[in-house]
Structure 1
Amino acid sequence: MKKIFFIITITLFSVNNFFAQTKKETSTSSATENVFAKSYNNVNDFEKILNPDQTNSLNKTLNAFEKKTLYKILIITVSSIKPYNDIYEYTQNLDKYLDSNLRLRPTIIIVLSKQLRQIQIVGEESIRYKFSDNEAKEIVSGFAVPEFKKGDYYKGLEVTVAEIIKKLE
């Protein structure tokens, strides 16, 4: 009798393990989505390095350019890129997030981090013939970085946008 009771008890506990609910692990993509904002304008100063007038001025320039050419340029300032290791990886994942979750298809994304002292410009494939990665690097080193070194982040972004607009027109 004790053997039968023991076998029934073991069977009940082992069946519970087969049919028990387990917590699903969240995928890395949903975990990293929490890093990004739920909406984006043309200028997104999350690091608060621009004043409202500067933000409005850049927004007006980018909106006018978008209406004229249908090319959407986004500027995003961030103080941290965690959980990502580098700004390029952050920008690539941001682009995927904007496309899949917000249905936003920017032509060019400019990500700047004053705190990390990094900038990344990423363009979509359809404009590579007008604006290559090498041209982006030249604009950053020739126009943006000298202004950033002076501490004028607005001027650096303004001349960067002006040079990108020249290339795309």
Structure 2
Amino acid sequence: MKKILILVISLVFPYVLFAQTKTQNVFSKSYNYVNDFEKILTPKQIENLNNVLKKGETKSTHKIIIVTTSSLNPYSNISDYTLDLDKYLINDLKVNASILIIMSEKLRQMRIQGVNKLHSKISDKEIEEIAANFVVPELKKGNYYKGLEDGIAQILKKIE
């Protein structure tokens, strides 16, 4: 009986260890307003967006974080990546972002996610409309900065 118990523990224990460290290895150890891990923005563009987002947070008390990434690994979709990044920011880094904007030029994907506490100011449908009407058209032209700038301006109008 002890041999079976030892065998079961030795087979299950490694999976438990690795399952709990998924987000610790994937995400950065710190996040600012703009986190251009994909290197698609110039330093001046990052500085401008950081300033707009910082001023927006001061006015609205809601923090917006932008992340560009060339890979979602080990995630299979941008939704799961965004949800786990949000949990990681809150639980591990103690950063409470009201809106996360995740974008990948390489993967041609983007997601804007707002938290439930903002639904009285901006709905999921309004976020989708902002993405579709202001962000995505510019991204399709390769104007990543302009798309982010326009999208952020529209979001800030709604939540301020």
Paired residue for 1:79? Answer: 70
Paired residue for 1:113? Answer: 104
**Secondary structure of residue in 1 paired with 2:111:** strand
Counterparts of residues 3-152 of structure 1 (less than 5 Å)? 22=10, 24-25=14-15, 26-152=17-143
Instruction: Give the Cα–Cα distance (whole angstroms) in 1 for the partners of residues 5 and 137 of structure 2.
Output: 63
TM-aligned CA deviation for residue 140 of structure 1: 0.8
**Secondary structure of residue in 2 paired with 1:115:** coil
User: Which amino acid in 2 is paired with 1:60?
Assistant: N
Tell me if structure 1 keeps the 8 A contact 2:65–2:99.
Answer: yes
Q: Structure 1's 27 and 58: CA in aligned 2 closer, same or farther, altered over 3 A?
A: same
TM-aligned CA deviation for residue 29 of structure 1: 3.6
Q: Which has the higher contact order (CA 8 A, sep 6+)?
A: 2
| Unaligned stretches of 5+ residues in structure 2 | none
| Unaligned stretches of 5+ residues in structure 1 | 1-13
After superposition, give the CA deviation of every residue in 1:22-53 in whole Å (9 maximum; x if it has no partner).
46432424123211101000000000000000
Larger Rg: 1
Moved over 4 A (4+): 14-23
Tell me if structure 2 keeps the 8 A contact 1:32–1:83.
Answer: no
- RMSD of aligned C-alpha atoms? 1.9
Instruction: Give the Cα–Cα distance (whole angstroms) in 2 for the partners of residues 15 and 113 of structure 1.
Output: 51
TM-aligned CA deviation for residue 81 of structure 1: 0.6
After alignment, is 26-35 or 41-50 more displaced?
26-35
